[in-house]
Structure 1
Amino acid sequence: MTDERAGATAPPADGAAFVDWVRPHLAAMARLAARLAVGADRDDIVQESLARAWMKRQQYDASRGTASSWLLAITADQARKAARRLRPVAELGDHDAAEARPDVEARVDVDQALARLSARQRLAVDCYYFADLSIGDTAAVMGCSEGTVKSTLSDARARLRSLLEVSE
């Protein structure tokens, strides 16, 4: 788990210290970018997020959330933008569709079920389960209350349960 004391102060004004300040959060940023913008270059999304965080560093307010939640909110926004840019390319068709492999069928089922969740439910699941954020940090990323996150996660789990049930 990351040291929350690293997020207790404002981002440093000099570049090297800023790098040290964001370093504990890079893995979570990369995981979230990969989950939210499948097909986009996750490293590009993280880089754009870091550039945005650097430009907006004076706007960080530790009383409103941790450094992790602030950086992940920026990452989620950049990932959504990247996913929107990819949409027209994805609609071109499946002329180069990959062959299905038996060893990845279970993952494909889960990925397909996740894709059928609402955007809000996917964001909650991605933040809480894949980026390993707390309910509070997930709420900060989503811009809602902790109760809304809990409700959204509950609804998402129920939807996934129904989508993944094996019919006999």
Structure 2
Amino acid sequence: MPTMTGEPVVGVQGPPPGDGPGFVAWVRPHLVAMSRLAGRLAVGADRDDVVQEALARAWTKRSQYDATRGTPSAWLLAITADQARKAVRRMRPAGGSLFDVDVPGPRPDLDARMDVDQAIMSLSSRQRLAVDCYYFADLSVAETAAVMGCSEGTVKSTLSDARARLRTLLEVTE
């Protein structure tokens, strides 16, 4: 398995080791992607807490990892996505949404980045997950499919639909 620099990572192939130091070495190459995905999916939650919960879950479920069903990265990111969804549910006020809460203090200016973030937030949860995995966590279509629990064709279709929706939402009319 190559790193982001293309160099192979030694000793992280196959199932997660049963000992603590081996498990740490096995997950270490994936921590940046896990943190990036947690930050994208659990806006408002502490992404380090989400990653910590995902790592704890991965540790307890390490015997269930099946290399024939996907890469360690996809498995860990699927757990991270699940923990991020749980963190968002815990933050939601009873009977309302996060958008109903009035946040005191100055409101930031609406710049292009916020427009894109707002447009992404308006996508369906499935489209958002596909966009976050593929574009922000830098996963391949196959890895995104493993995280989402669907086929590669479904990921491609979902990304295509998301791009079309984003084009419409971000269209500048003068």
Q: Partner residue of 1:116? A: 122
1:98 offset after TM fit, Å? Answer: 3.1
* Identical residues among aligned pairs (%): 70
Q: Partner residue of 1:58? A: 63
CA distance in 1 between partners of 2:74 and 2:9 (Å): 11
1:94 offset after TM fit, Å? Answer: 1.1
Q: Partner residue of 2:112? A: 106
1:50 offset after TM fit, Å? Answer: 0.3
Return 5+ residue gaps in structure 2 as ranges. Answer: none
1:160 offset after TM fit, Å? Answer: 0.2
**2:144 maps to 1:138:** yes
**Higher normalized helix content (fraction of residues):** 1
Give matches, 1:1-168, under 5 Å: 2=3, 3=8, 8-88=13-93, 90=98, 93-101=101-109, 105-168=111-174
Identify if the C-alpha distance between structure 1 residues 4 and 146 changes in structure 2 by more than 3 Å, giving closer, same or farther. farther
CA deviation profile, 1:65-84 (whole Å, cap 9, x unmatched) = 00000000000000000011
Letter matched to residue 141 of structure 2: I
Q: Are the equivalent residues in 1 in contact too, given 2:41–2:129 (CA < 8 A)?
A: yes
Larger RCO, structure (CA 8 Å, separation 6 or more): 1
Structure 1 stretch 89-98 or stretch 72-81: which is displaced more?
89-98
Q: Are the equivalent residues in 2 in contact too, given 1:7–1:68 (CA < 8 A)?
A: no
Letter matched to residue 137 of structure 1: E
Identify if the C-alpha distance between structure 1 residues 87 and 68 changes in structure 2 by more than 3 Å, giving closer, same or farther. same
1:87 offset after TM fit, Å? Answer: 1.4
Q: Are the equivalent residues in 1 in contact too, given 2:116–2:170 (CA < 8 A)?
A: yes
Q: Are the equivalent residues in 2 in contact too, given 1:6–1:67 (CA < 8 A)?
A: no
Q: Are the equivalent residues in 1 in contact too, given 2:12–2:25 (CA < 8 A)?
A: no
CA distance in 1 between partners of 2:23 and 2:141 (Å): 26
| SS of residue paired to 1:167 | coil
Structure 1 stretch 145-154 or stretch 105-114: which is displaced more?
105-114
1:100 offset after TM fit, Å? Answer: 2.6
CA distance in 2 between partners of 1:32 and 1:78 (Å): 11
Return 5+ residue gaps in structure 1 as ranges. Answer: none
CA distance in 1 between partners of 2:121 and 2:103 (Å): 21
CA distance in 2 between partners of 1:22 and 1:158 (Å): 35
1:91 offset after TM fit, Å? Answer: 5.4
